[in-house]
A and B are shown apart, each in its own frame.
Chain A
């Protein structure tokens, strides 16, 4: 039936056409008196990203609002760029970290998105679009999103230095990470990244075993301890990498670390079980520990945050109706419902104003303005996250994102860094 409706009228021989017409008519009468409803199949978009970014509620809502089906492909943080580079035809939409872009763009497997087709392109959060919050510049160490946001043209394999009409990634979620801790198991006041290497917590700290992110945490800690001042933490020289790894190996041999983790759930488990009392954590992971009824604090530190951002990109293999659907979905994503949904999990969305429209004023005040909750704060799934009176760790949006010190990064010396990281693991 679908075949017949699609092909009628386009250069098919008369005899076959008449047969097809008959078939279509039959099918039409058999089903509904509105054959045009069946004129187009629903589009399914294969959405590649880490599992954390894949909310079933968003897929459900998108399917309802747009008639586009979202098929999630969940992989690890490291696996996302690998899939983009090795199998660009295995997905229609990728939600990738900005720090992967220096590897992805030169491969030519992704194309620039046409800014003219994104309705709210001018409303993107300034921290992503220009690296500023309320007009103030944030830390740009590492791969800051605005530095890799634009391409010279659709198929360019290098970044544009000035804003253009071709966008690499449209932000989905971003946030600032800091140390998470168990206040019930720590009686010291934690104010600095240096605590990650504090011998008082020997055997009770952890770091992330994704080199691009782990090295940044380590750099924050080592710099905070006063061992070194990096020229750019996110783009170290070989000497700086050697020094950082050497310090990490020292700490590891002294038994500083309990474990290394490589995905969201592992970090939650380490913290919830009490194996680890202090570690670099993703804000929603802190929320996840807390929803288990275990006290966990996302601790703002004087050196600032390590920020990350993730966004939608299109593979070069995308075309036709799927491409239209991808733009449609992205525009829907920026239109508020999804932004509000993600905000209530502790993420920040690309367009703040539309998300605000879909949140209650007391929710907005809690999540974005750093104010005490007027009522109980609910997670999107209806569980109580915080009782009335609670204040969000890290304060308001401006306080958090304004205090970003560096971004997750892929360095020029990335290959060397990965090799040294392996030495650290082996030490």
Chain B
């Protein structure tokens, strides 16, 4: 036994005897875990449960242009889905908006995953020393020192009609007229979302890759696996928890995004977040709340489906 563990044992005995002296000897130890969990629980209660409960409650209220009144009405939900069944097979605004948001989600998920996994793989397996791994990893976070909006807006001088990319292409003789689709388009939105959120993939995947026992890779190689087989049969399955966590980050962030889609899409591309924002601006809080509840449900279904794929508790 080391000295340290002796001290711990003594301390524990001290505590037990200290508790023993108190009259409330049974409730005391039982309360301790609750007290320890209390700060987090309180934070969750005040900043998550309460606002969420309020949002759900308000989504059933009535409103005018300058007031909201408590009520229990499904009117707001009805308004959101108005005409959605009637117009089939044409899509109503709500469905079309969700579909558009979902499209961005899937594309950005694919791009961030590809790029994020590649970067993490390089960091984990090709950078040899821990010191350089840390340095490279920190380099990846440098863009995060500036604000999201700045990182987004900085694309504009590059992508604009008279921007750097168009000027370069024209001077090289590749194109005659500027490419219009670079800015204020789906492309611009996907590009900047990928730029903004790739790190959310890199971090958890890198973490997963670092935990892979290197002897497994050697064993696979000894057993005759080629590089591609090692990647698909050994590394990717073991990186699943990281991939999953990264995916949850990216999907939830993109589903609720309205800033990037708004700015890079020239406000012309619909997103659920943008609709909620417009409704809030016009004081249609109950309608916005109903939309938020639906969005939350949609995201939760997505996350639930992802969790079905991997038992994240077991993997961690």
Residues of A near any B CB (own CB < 8 A): 76, 78-79, 81-82, 85-86, 102-104, 106-107, 203, 209, 211, 252, 257-262, 273-275, 410, 414-415, 418-419, 421-423, 425-427
A-B contact count (CB 8 A): 83
Question: Which has the most chain A C-beta neighbours within 10 Å: B161, B162, B275?
Answer: B161
B153 vs chain A, min Cβ distance (A): 10
B295 vs chain A, min Cβ distance (A): 14
Chain A residue, CB-CB nearest to B83: A423
Say which residue of B66, B180, B267 sits within 8 Å of A261 (CB atoms): B267
How far apart sit A76 and B268, CA to CA, in the bound complex (Å)? 19
Question: Cβ of A426 and Cβ of B184 under 8 Å apart?
Answer: no
Question: Cβ of B66 and Cβ of A209 under 8 Å apart?
Answer: no
Say which residue of A418, A425, A426 sits within 8 Å of B284 (CB atoms): A418
Question: Cβ of B268 and Cβ of A260 under 8 Å apart?
Answer: yes
Nearest 7 pairs of A and B residues by beta carbon: A259-B266, A426-B270, A260-B267, A78-B281, A107-B66, A423-B93, A426-B93
Contacting residues, chain A, for B267 (C-beta < 8 A): 209, 259-262, 425
Question: Cβ of B268 and Cβ of A425 under 8 Å apart?
Answer: yes
Question: Cβ of A81 and Cβ of B283 under 8 Å apart?
Answer: yes
Contact string against A for B residues 262-291, beta-carbon threshold 8 Å, 1 for contact and 0 otherwise: 000011101000110011111110000000
Known: A209-B267, A273-B162, A275-B160. 13 other contacts (CB 8 A): A85-B67, A103-B283, A106-B65, A107-B67, A257-B268, A258-B184, A258-B266, A275-B184, A422-B270, A422-B278, A422-B279, A425-B278, A426-B270
Question: Cβ of A274 and Cβ of B266 under 8 Å apart?
Answer: no
How far apart sit A261 and B67, CA to CA, in the bound complex (Å)? 27
Chain A residue, CB-CB nearest to B178: A274
Question: Cβ of A103 and Cβ of B65 under 8 Å apart?
Answer: yes
Contacting residues, chain B, for A421 (C-beta < 8 A): 278
Contacting residues, chain B, for A104 (C-beta < 8 A): 66
Chain B residue, CB-CB nearest to A78: B281
Given A78-B281, A107-B66: A422 and B275 within 8 A (CB)? yes
List residues 218-271 of chain B with CB under 8 A from any CB of chain A. Answer: 266-268, 270
How far apart sit A273 and B268, CA to CA, in the bound complex (Å)? 18
Task: Give me 8 A-to-B residue pairs in the complex whose CB atoms sit less than 8 angstroms apart, sorted by A's number.
Answer: A81-B283, A259-B267, A275-B160, A421-B278, A422-B270, A422-B279, A426-B96, A427-B270
Question: Cβ of B268 and Cβ of A252 under 8 Å apart?
Answer: yes
Question: Cβ of B183 and Cβ of A275 under 8 Å apart?
Answer: yes
Say which residue of B65, B183, B184 sits within 8 Å of A415 (CB atoms): B65
A242 vs chain B, min Cβ distance (A): 12
Question: Cβ of A418 and Cβ of B270 under 8 Å apart?
Answer: no
How far apart sit A257 and B185, CA to CA, in the bound complex (Å)? 11
Question: Cβ of A260 and Cβ of B266 under 8 Å apart?
Answer: yes
Chain A residue, CB-CB nearest to B98: A426
Contacting residues, chain A, for B282 (C-beta < 8 A): 78, 211, 414-415, 418
Question: Which has the most chain A C-beta neighbours within 10 Å: B79, B266, B282?
Answer: B282
Chain B residue, CB-CB nearest to A109: B66
The verdict on B167 contacting chain A, using a C-beta distance below 8 Å, is no
Contact string against A for B residues 173-189, beta-carbon threshold 8 Å, 1 for contact and 0 otherwise: 00000001001100000
Contacting residues, chain B, for A85 (C-beta < 8 A): 66-67, 283
The verdict on B133 contacting chain A, using a C-beta distance below 8 Å, is no
Question: Cβ of A426 and Cβ of B97 under 8 Å apart?
Answer: yes
How far apart sit A315 and B197, CA to CA, in the bound complex (Å)? 43
Contacting residues, chain B, for A82 (C-beta < 8 A): 280-281, 283
Question: Cβ of B275 and Cβ of A426 under 8 Å apart?
Answer: yes
Contacting residues, chain A, for B93 (C-beta < 8 A): 422-423, 426-427
Contacting residues, chain A, for B111 (C-beta < 8 A): none
How far apart sit A209 and B66, CA to CA, in the bound complex (Å)? 21
How far apart sit A90 and B250, CA to CA, in the bound complex (Å)? 37
How far apart sit A426 and B271, CA to CA, in the bound complex (Å)? 7
How far apart sit A421 and B278, CA to CA, in the bound complex (Å)? 9
Chain B residue, CB-CB nearest to A206: B266
Question: Cβ of A106 and Cβ of B162 under 8 Å apart?
Answer: no
Given A79-B281, A260-B266: A275 and B66 within 8 A (CB)? no
Contacting residues, chain B, for A260 (C-beta < 8 A): 266-268
A167 vs chain B, min Cβ distance (A): 20
Contacting residues, chain A, for B184 (C-beta < 8 A): 258-259, 275
Question: Cβ of B161 and Cβ of A274 under 8 Å apart?
Answer: yes
A189 vs chain B, min Cβ distance (A): 23
The verdict on B100 contacting chain A, using a C-beta distance below 8 Å, is yes
Chain A residue, CB-CB nearest to B184: A259
How far apart sit A275 and B266, CA to CA, in the bound complex (Å)? 11
Say which residue of A106, A258, A259 sits within 8 Å of B66 (CB atoms): A106
A330 vs chain B, min Cβ distance (A): 24
Question: Cβ of A259 and Cβ of B268 under 8 Å apart?
Answer: yes
How far apart sit A427 and B275, CA to CA, in the bound complex (Å)? 12
A347 vs chain B, min Cβ distance (A): 24
B241 vs chain A, min Cβ distance (A): 36
Contacting residues, chain B, for A274 (C-beta < 8 A): 160-162
Contacting residues, chain B, for A426 (C-beta < 8 A): 93, 96-97, 100, 270, 275
How far apart sit A216 and B261, CA to CA, in the bound complex (Å)? 25
How far apart sit A410 and B278, CA to CA, in the bound complex (Å)? 15
How far apart sit A86 and B18, CA to CA, in the bound complex (Å)? 53
Contacting residues, chain A, for B279 (C-beta < 8 A): 418, 422
How far apart sit A237 and B183, CA to CA, in the bound complex (Å)? 36
A427 vs chain B, min Cβ distance (A): 8
How far apart sit A261 and B262, CA to CA, in the bound complex (Å)? 10
Chain A residue, CB-CB nearest to B63: A415
A320 vs chain B, min Cβ distance (A): 27
How far apart sit A76 and B262, CA to CA, in the bound complex (Å)? 16
Question: Cβ of B266 and Cβ of A415 under 8 Å apart?
Answer: no
Chain A residue, CB-CB nearest to B271: A426
Question: Which has the most chain A C-beta neighbours within 10 Å: B156, B184, B268?
Answer: B268
How far apart sit A86 and B280, CA to CA, in the bound complex (Å)? 11
How far apart sit A353 and B284, CA to CA, in the bound complex (Å)? 42
